[in-house]
Amino acid sequence: MKTLRVNMDRLEAKWESVLPEYERLGGRALIAKILLTEVPPQCEPLGPNNKLIFAPGLLGGTSLSSSGRLSIGGKSPLTGGVKEANCGGNGSSDLARLGVKALVVEGQPADEKLYQLCISGTGVELLPADEWRGLGTYATAAKAQERWGADCTVISIGQAGEFLMSAAGVVCTGHGEQNSRVAARGGLGALMGSKGLKAVVLNSSGADALPLADPELFRVSARRFAKELVESPKTGRKGAMHTYGTSAIVAAVNEMGAFPTRNFSEGSFETAENLYGQRLREITLERGGKVGTTCMAGCVIACCNVFVDENGKPVVSTLQYETIGLLGSNLGIGTLDEIAHLNRLCNDFGLDSIEAGASLGVAAEAGLARFGDKDSFVSLLEEITEGSVLGRVLGQGAAVTGRVLGVSRVPVAKGQAMPAYDPRALKGNGVTYAASPMGADHTAGNAFGARREVNPLGTEGQRELSLKLQLGAAMLDSTGLCLFARPPVYGDSQLMVDLINGRFGWGWSVADLEEFKKTVLKMELGFNEKAGLTLADARMPEYMTREPLPPHDTVFDVPEAELDAVFSAL
Amino acid sequence: MKTLRVNMDRLEAKWESVLPEYERLGGRALIAKILLTEVPPQCEPLGPNNKLIFAPGLLGGTSLSSSGRLSIGGKSPLTGGVKEANCGGNGSSDLARLGVKALVVEGQPADEKLYQLCISGTGVELLPADEWRGLGTYATAAKAQERWGADCTVISIGQAGEFLMSAAGVVCTGHGEQNSRVAARGGLGALMGSKGLKAVVLNSSGADALPLADPELFRVSARRFAKELVESPKTGRKGAMHTYGTSAIVAAVNEMGAFPTRNFSEGSFETAENLYGQRLREITLERGGKVGTTCMAGCVIACCNVFVDENGKPVVSTLQYETIGLLGSNLGIGTLDEIAHLNRLCNDFGLDSIEAGASLGVAAEAGLARFGDKDSFVSLLEEITEGSVLGRVLGQGAAVTGRVLGVSRVPVAKGQAMPAYDPRALKGNGVTYAASPMGADHTAGNAFGARREVNPLGTEGQRELSLKLQLGAAMLDSTGLCLFARPPVYGDSQLMVDLINGRFGWGWSVADLEEFKKTVLKMELGFNEKAGLTLADARMPEYMTREPLPPHDTVFDVPEAELDAVFSAL
């Protein structure tokens, strides 16, 4: 595999051999290493010295189920630190099969125009795309597929990215219809916008299968991996994930009192039942939508859905838990139809639904919208796509929105909005939000799954749990595995090692894998330290340490010394 | 002297003995010590855990000329670090003569109402002031003087402080008519607003003179100090400071190519002549305004003016250099009348004219106003006082304005806007902007005066110069001396020591004074470190290291290693 470097100053693309120090890295790990090696940590995130990196995980492009998460990264304009966000879809598989270990976009076009990059088996083309300026991601994908072929994968930004908004994500077309996969967090859409890149188009048709160092070991391991997924009570055909998708957990989080409600002022939502996974499944099937679909080819979990309106017309795919929390209960909105509408707008404008939902919640608290009134939030989202001053404020995320509007109840860590678990009622997530190099991010180490082992309301054991989860997430994010595919490998590191050795023949041991996970976090923490982040950034918002969250009336009280010690065992 | 603590939770004031460790500190030094001792460095600046501190300098309240700078401080909502801003007027003298070594305002009123605090010889009263909500500082001062007496000193916030804007300063009535003295920098007006404090009213009539430990030593030293000021070619009656005020330097800075023009995109302004000190004096005298007035009683320098309109009606007092740069050339505005109008609005709304001017410059770059068109800037300032969303953005200062509007040319350091010396053509100031614990602040160590000793365009010797200047400023800001009163004491530390010993009888040596200066900076750097600021914050904006500044076409190229080493000799 090669590194594909695209220089936006000179508008040229070139293939390079992979540097030896990048060779055994992929996805999130590779992004951290490239940032540490090539990007000045103190650079302005939207200036010419930052780089936008797309990297398949180590196992991307293989036939392994659920291994196609595409990592996108750079220095975050939202947190000021390292950022990797990943998404499903076929982008990772396409890139890997096209021989791209990392696509590194550098510089900025002098003409401030927009460009499209097409990578296919026949070559790389970097062409003007200024005629797509102002288009949402649905229209951009349609135009790109019209130009390059209906089977292409299109990775694009919407208006939010063009406006350099920190709530802008990068949106990737997925497997199946209407499928928007979003590498949402940290403002990577703004970074892509700052590079003048409207879309990356991938066409891997006709590409050869990737070579395997030990085909037999890989095939045996991959088969076992898939079998365990299928047989797991969580991820199997009868499991909640396949049956209800991520929305399966609405009920449990609401019952825990950690379901963000009306700008994180309460932890359970009076009409949450209407948002339960069961309800989502019911409505969808009644109306002729789909459940149990996949976001990427060959995934045996199939947790996705195509949410349709009353006439059976697709609204959004896939409607997910975090979005239901942030654009639903957090805004006091109690129907899936309303949430799906807001979600579609976010996907189209290229907005992280978490960050945007948090901005809207803060705006409602400031009186600019009304909790429970969807239309008032639609108006605010339209301000974002219009680029009005209010829209530009909201589009910068919850922290800027709170500061500008004079609101002190702002649910962020390291400047990034919290996902749909209030840390006062799920304290392990609070530790992850505070400590993770990524800022408030559930995918960095979500304690929800461990709620029966570690008391979510207690302070004991939270930092140890968070570190364990963060190490696990670092492994998944670097190999390209979906977080939901963790059951087979969390209990059996040897299987993970076998998959890697089967693919590459590196002769890794379990100890090597453990070291690898630690290295990922160390690289990220190292970048952040050089960028100027300190333990003072590893904190919850002050109000959460003071303002009790109903119904448990707990505050976030994990001692600061515990937050400071999260990585001491690394 | 005592510490007066005002608790806004309980709405009560109480006198306390001065803690032994606060005894030998005053002004800026005392603020740093109180912050380090009493304020959690990571607290939210506008939350209940921050404190707002008013402290006269060590020599405040005495008869010494030019010793009445009032230090105001707290953790800055703009920079996130330590903040001391000081102003002239009689506030320091009043407080000191009322026996107040430090006024410390704590907590926040639960009712979110506004309050007024009156301190006089007969007692301390904390009363509602909600009827003053929405008033500018001129009207607030008038109401307060109506209520408490025309001779009272009124320290207040305008609309900007009420809206918790980071560009809000604290405005103090001065000696003489229409005199607005502003402790402008760092958002202390927002901090005062967050405490629910609309005004502090001081009435020192009938207060006794302060005791002197060695009256003879003090009087002899004070007389020599005043004599040297009067005889100095800089500060004497024939000197530029008395004749033209601070605007005397417009010509020189413009000729150096460091005069910020059109959002710091050029270093000399084609019609700068109309802004020269000579012109200000001419116009003012022609129209019956005043030059050579004082801001505080007993100052022998008398550098102020009362700028009047064509009908002889006072517009603003005093019109100063930094304002002429930031609200003038920086906005492409070429007449003193237009600048004075903008300045009056800033003073009335309670805005730092530097931060506001920088916000407006960035807004013009984004197309929201037109360089050279005063009315377009008046409209933007009115948005601020109205608290519209655009106004709230601008009121947060240049950094937030730039981020929201997607502008990369944003002249800030540590989040605070630069005063009127472009650091690419006066590199010593760039070092001070980057390194100073205060953020971009000319009063922290202004290299302009040393332009003949250290080449302003060179990189050599800048860090040594900056440190020397920063130590001098720390001494002045802690004793209450005006920066312009430096000639007698910069060359003669013994005189400074004699003044302190004459006042307090501490038996200080010159070595003690040198140690004292260092201690001030060390305390401030210590607070900032705990607050999470690092060397990554000691930087110029990236564009200034890349974009040459006409007419010299120089970039800011003092090596980062030099910036990092500024305080290594402390």
**Which of A166, A396, A534 has its CB closest to that of B534?**
A534
Amino acid at A388: S
pLDDT recorded at residue A557: 98
Best mutation target among B50, B166, B379, B404 (most A Cβ atoms within 10 Å) is B404
Q: Render pLDDT for B96-150 as a digit per residue (tens, 0 to 9).
A: 999 999 999 999 999 999 999 999 999 999 999 999 999 999 999 999 999 999 9
Contacts of B537 in chain A (CB under 8 A): 532
Asked if B496 and B475 count as a contact pair (C-beta separation under 8 A), the reply is yes
Which residue does chain B place closest to A407, by CA atoms? Answer: B164
Contact yes or no for B404 and A389 at CB 8 A: yes
Percent of chain A with pLDDT over 90: 98
Give yes or no for residue B469 having a pLDDT over 70.
yes
H-helix or E-strand containing B128?
Answer: strand B123-128
Q: Residue B531's closest chain A neighbor by CA? A: A536
Q: What is the largest distance, in Å, between two alpha-carbon atoms of chain A?
A: 62
Which amino acid is it at A375? D
pLDDT band for B177, please (50, 70, 90 cuts): low
Query: Which residue type is seen at B109?
Result: P
Report the residue of chain A nearest B162, measured CA to CA.
A406
Give the list of residues 6+ apart from residue A356 with CB closer than 8 angstroms, or none.
A167, A326, A327, A346, A381, A384, A394, A395
B393 vs A44, A49, A393: nearest CB? A393
| Residues B533-545, mean pLDDT to the nearest whole number | 97
CATH 3.90.1150.10 corresponds to the domain B2-203: no
Give A445-481 pLDDT, tens digit per residue: 999 999 999 999 999 999 999 999 999 999 999 999 9
Amino acid, res. B231: E
**A1-570 belongs to CATH 3.30.70.3270:** no
Distance CA A166, CA A44 (A): 13
Compare all CA atoms of chain B with the CA of A161 and give the residue at the minimum distance. Answer: B406
Q: Nearest-CA neighbor of A549 among A330, A258, A255, A249?
A: A258
Q: What is the mean pLDDT of residues A343-350?
A: 98
Entry pTM? 0.97
How far is residue B478's CA from residue B520's CA, in Å, rounded to a whole number? Answer: 8
On average, the pLDDT of chain A sits at: 97
What whole-number distance in Å separates Cα of residue B533 and Cα of residue B210?
Answer: 39
To the nearest whole angstrom, how far is the Cα of A64 from the nearest Cα of chain B? Answer: 42
Which residue in B458, B421, B44 sits closest to B260, CA to CA? B421
- Residue environment code for A133-149, b if the CB has 16+ CB neighbours within 10 A, otherwise e: eebbbbebbebbbebbe
Q: Do B537 and A539 touch (CB under 8 A)?
A: no
DSSP string, B338-354: HHHHHHHHHHHHTB-HH
| pLDDT above 70: residue A490 | yes
Q: Report domain extents, chain B.
A: 2-203
pLDDT at B179: 81
- For position A259, what pLDDT does the model report? 98
Q: Pick the residue from chain A with its C-alpha nearest to B44.
A: A542
pLDDT for position B121: 94
Structure tokens at A495: 């299987």
Do the strands A314-316 and A304-308 form a parallel or antiparallel pair, or are they unpaired?
A: antiparallel
- Sign of the Cα torsion B495, B497, B498, B503 reads positive
Q: For the segment B272-312, what is each residue's pLDDT rounded down to a tens digit?
A: 999 999 999 999 999 999 999 999 999 999 999 999 999 99
Are the Cβ atoms of B404 and A390 closer than 8 angstroms? no
Task: Name the residue facing B400 among A390, A403, A536 (closest C-beta).
Answer: A403
How far apart (Å, rounded) are the C-alpha atoms in residues B41 and B35? Answer: 8
Report CB contact under 8 Å: A534, B539.
no
Facing B393 at nearest CB: one of A41, A47, A404: A404
> CB-based burial of residue A33 (10 Å sphere; 0-12 exposed, 13-18 middle, 19+ buried)?
buried
- State the Cα–Cα distance between residues B416 and B399, nearest whole angstrom: 7
Q: Which residue of A has its CA nearest to B406?
A: A164
Task: Give the SS3 label for residue A413.
Answer: strand
Virtual CA dihedral for A283, A358, A546, B6, nearest 10 degrees? Answer: -150
Residues of B in contact with A44 (CB under 8 A): 408, 541-543
Residue of A nearest to B367 (CA): A389
Classify A510 as helix, strand or coil. helix
Find the residue in A nearest to B407 (Cα).
Answer: A164
pLDDT digits (tens, 9 = 90+) for B224-266: 999 999 999 999 999 999 999 999 999 999 999 999 999 999 9
Does A176 score more than 80 pLDDT?
no
Residues B408-446 have pLDDT tens digits of: 999 999 999 999 999 999 999 999 999 999 999 999 999
Q: Which residues of A touch B530 (CB under 8 A)?
A: 536
Chain B residue nearest residue A367, CA to CA: B389
Q: Where are the alpha helices (DSSP H) in A245-335?
A: 250-256, 277-287, 321-326
Q: Closest partner residue to B42 among A43, A396, A539, by Cβ?
A: A539
Asked if A432 contacts A444 with a C-beta cutoff of 8 angstroms, the reply is yes
Share of chain A residues as helix, strand and coil, in percent rounded to the nearest 5: 45, 15, 40
Q: How far apart are CA A106 and CA B408, in angstroms?
A: 17
User: What's the pLDDT score for residue B424?
Assistant: 98
- CA-based nearest distance B349→chain A, Å: 17
Contact check, Cβ <8 Å, B532/A536: yes
**A406 vs B44, B164, B406: nearest CB:** B164
Contacts of A164 in chain B (CB under 8 A): 406
Coil, strand or helix at A181: strand
Closest Cβ–Cβ partner in A396, A406, A542 for B44: A542
Q: Please say whether the dihedral angle defined by the alpha carbons of residues A465, A429, A169 and A82, taken in this order, is positive or negative.
A: negative
Nearest C-alpha neighbor of A298 from the set A174, A425, A475, A463: A174
Chain B nearest C-alpha distance from A343 (Å):
23
Side-chain half-sphere exposure of B332, counting CA atoms within 13 A? 18
Interface confidence: ipTM more than 0.90? yes
Answer yes or no: are the C-beta atoms of B305 and B290 closer than 8 Å.
Answer: yes
Residue of B nearest to A541 (CA): B44
Cβ-based neighbours of B190, under 8 Å, separated by 6 or more = B45, B46, B77, B160, B161, B163, B164, B165, B166, B168
CB contact under 8 A, A532 and B535: yes
- Considering only alpha carbons, which residue of chain A is nearest residue B399? A400
pLDDT at A175: 77
At A459 the pLDDT is: 98
Neighbour count for residue B378 (Cβ, 10 Å): 16
Of A47, A533, A541, the CB nearest to B542: A47
Residues of B in contact with A406 (CB under 8 A): 163-164, 392
**C-beta separation of B82 from B42 below 8 A:** no
Enumerate the residues of chain B whose CB falls inside 8 A of the CB of residue A163. Answer: 406
Mutate to test the interface with A, among B43, B78, B393 (most CBs of A within 10 A): B393
Residue A177 has pLDDT above 70, yes or no: no
Contacts of B166 in chain A (CB under 8 A): 403
**A222 residue type, one letter:** A
Q: Which residues pair with B153 in a beta bridge?
A: B202
The answer to whether the CB atoms of A404 and B392 lie below 8 A apart is yes
Using CB atoms, which residue from B396, B536, B543 is nearest to A531? Answer: B536
Query: pLDDT by residue (tens digit) across B439-456?
Result: 999 999 999 999 999 999
B46 → closest Cβ in A390, A396, A408: A408
Which chain B residues are within 8 Å of A532, Cβ to Cβ? Answer: 533-537
The 3-class secondary structure across B184-253, one letter per residue, is CHHHHHHHHHHCCEEEEEEECCCCCCCCCCCHHHHHHHHHHHHHHHHHCCCCCCCCHHHHHHHHHHHHHH
- Distance CA(A463)–CA(A565), nearest Å, equals 8
- Following DSSP, what letter does each residue of B358-416 receive, concatenated? HHHHHHHHTTSS-TT-HHHHHHHHHHHHHT-HHHHHHHT-HHHHHHHHT-----EETTE
Q: How far is CA A359 from CA A123, A310, A330, A372, A401, in A?
A: 41, 29, 10, 15, 6
Which residues of B have a CB under 8 Å from any CB of A?
A: 41-44, 46-47, 49, 163-164, 166, 389-390, 392-393, 396, 400, 403-406, 408, 530-537, 539, 541-543
Would you call A41 and B536 a contact, using CB atoms and an 8 Å cutoff? Answer: yes
Give contacts of A537 with chain B, Cβ < 8 Å: 532
pLDDT at B220 over 70: yes
Give A428→chain B minimum CA distance, Å: 22
DSSP result, B255-271? HHT-S-BTTTTBSS-TT
